[in-house]
Amino acid sequence: MSSTQLPSAEIVVACHTPERNVQDAVASVLDHNENVTVRVVAHNVDPQSLWDVIDERHHDGVVMDELRDCLRSPSAPFNHGIERSTSRYVGILGSDDVLEPGAVDSWRRLAQRTGAQYVITRLRREERRSPTPTPPVRAHQLLRILADRPGRLNPLKDRLVFRSAPLGLLDREFFEGFGVRLEPGLNVGEDVHLTTQLMLRSHTVFDAAGPAYLVRDSASDRTTLVIRPLDEQFGFFDLTFAGLRSDAERHAVALKFLRIHIFSALVVRSLPEHWDAEQRQDLARWTRFLLGQAPRVRDDLSIAEERLVQVCLNPLTSHEELLAANRARGRHSRPAAWLPARPSRLLAVQGSLRTVGSSALGMLVPRR
């Protein structure tokens, strides 16, 4: 199928300030893909100010919507744009991010070939050459992708819930009946519940060797870079667990939340003032919450992860000990970072050894 025969697609970009690099986002879609439009949602900003920063040669490919509310969250404008799309496929793009050439065409071809309801994109941070290895799918799935024979992924065995944002391409008719949307009431993690549900319920394939979604860190106001109270940062935990249907799903999500959200919160909180007594109590409470959701979750932790959990659970340990335990967790050259704390779980699918191994392989996948 040639690119001109591909069904229509629309990429929604939510923008709340003309200072964002929305022109780069628009150009990355319109310059290198066919039969695609960009729907820019002017969120609490004058639409004309966004038209002024978009090159005139792209105006015919842009649909401009306006949304006024009292919220800073990008959820509402993304939901607004998706709900107004009439294209066969729809996706979202951050106003500071860009797509590598041909990304949308690659996603559509894959969706057409496989019948997928959701194609998840290769991710890469702009300053890095290697892709971000998430989700850490099984090795044989990566081999199939490299052989250009991608198959439907298993949401648990392929650890799909490690993906936190719904990036890629959605079958719009499927999504209309899906019922779950980005959560407008949250300032952070507003996309986690939706993404988790998509990973668990949709026919998903991974364009791991295709053009990447490039994440830029240039915006100082990105919500992921703001240090917030832990109760606000982890506010999506309850919502996400409420949508799970089995112990296996709770186990996988609890592991992901520990590894990606709890532990990552320690990375940006590197100063003593980030960890007063209240925040240490909150860290212990949220860690206990996850352990209570999946009582066997500690079975699949590495030695270093188990040590870090013990420190998180004890608010009386020092700030220095907390950060030292987190650094040890990230030293993957040392066996403690990937050997399981429970030796009987050495080859468990969700265990530390296979998860770290799959992540390492994912970083080596070349772009076709």
Q: Encoding tokens for residue 307?
A: 């040590």
What is the dihedral sign for C-alpha 227, 230, 236, 240? positive
pLDDT for 222 equals 52
Query: CA–CA distance from 301 to each of 22, 229, 292, 326, 358 (Å)?
Result: 41, 26, 15, 13, 15
pLDDT for 225 equals 59
CATH superfamily of 3-225: Spore Coat Polysaccharide Biosynthesis Protein SpsA; Chain A (3.90.550.10)
pLDDT for 221 equals 52
| Average pLDDT of every residue of the chain | 94
Contact criterion met (CB below 8 Å) for 314 and 281: no
pLDDT for 185 equals 81
pLDDT tens, residue by residue, 237-259 = 999 999 999 999 999 999 999 99
CA-based end-to-end distance of the chain: 18
Parse the chain into domains and list their residue ranges: 3-225, 230-362
Query: Average pLDDT per run of 10 along the chain, which is 368 residues long?
Result: 76 94 96 97 96 97 94 89 97 97 98 97 94 96 95 97 97 96 90 98 98 82 70 96 98 97 91 91 98 96 98 95 94 95 95 96 94
Q: Determine phi and psi for 169, rounding to 5 degrees.
A: -135, 130
pTM > 0.75: yes
SS3 173: helix
